[in-house]
Copies of this chain bind each other. A is one copy, B any other.
Amino acid sequence: MPGSERSLRSDALRNRIRILVAAESVFAAKGLDASTDEVARLAGVGIGTLYRHFATKDALLDAVFAGRMQRLVDRADDLARESDAGRAFFDFFAGLLGESPRDRVFTDALARAGLDAEAAATRPDNPLHIAMAQLLERAQRSGQVRPDVSVPDLVSSMFGLVHAMRHAGTATRVRLRTLTIVVDGLRPPAGTQRRVKASVPVGRRRR
């Protein structure tokens, strides 16, 4: 049962969350060079409190990034339960449309989450990699995604796409078409399309 001793911790937890929320907002708006002071101010805590929770500005950034990545992984996992493998796969990419209207956190998170191609080779146990691998394999087996792409290619494309979204700003048309280009590029080339599809009984449920 959460007694009196727990309440201290819940206060601390509340502060920790406020700091993380403030950090995401500040870093998104002003870039990663924004000062820790500003984060603390927005969070409504003293700078000492911020540093009690995160030993270093870098540690704070890592936490922010990790949170952002977790949300992405969660989405991938959710979509992995979708019956239509192709739809799940492309929905994942389409979701990026809404992710980053203007901020830098998401892109920098990807850049620092140990997701670069070299890290992918040495550390294939990254949660996002695993989640994307699942989406990719199923979609490839269903014949809706070209068979020659690997997870690192996907991550690289996603990374680029997210940056493109940032560049496109609020121009919805541009955002949409840029997504379309990548998505179509991921489809099997004409002539090879749907070769395997029939052999994989999917699509039992429609969401």
Smallest CB gap from A151: residue in B = B174
Rounded to whole angstroms, the CA-CA distance of A163 and B186 in the bound complex is 18
Q: How far is the CB of A12 from chain B (nearest CB, A)?
A: 14
Selected interface stretch from A17-25, A79-87, A115-123: A115-123
Contacts of A34 in B (CB 8 A): none
Interface residues on A, range: 35 or more
Q: Which residues of B contact A107 (CB under 8 A)?
A: 163
A177 contacts across to B, CB distance below 8 A: 148-150, 153
How many copies are assembled? 4
Q: How far is the CB of A119 from chain B (nearest CB, A)?
A: 9
A155: chain B residues within 8 A (beta carbon): 167
Q: Is A143 close to B, CB under 8 A? A: no
| B contact residues around A160 at 8 Å (CB) | 160-165, 167, 178, 182
**Closest residue on chain B to residue A164 by CB atoms:** B160
Mark each residue of chain A from 167 to 178: 1 if its CB lies under 8 Å from any CB of chain B, else 0.
Answer: 111110111011
CB pair A171–B185 under 8 Å, yes or no, is no
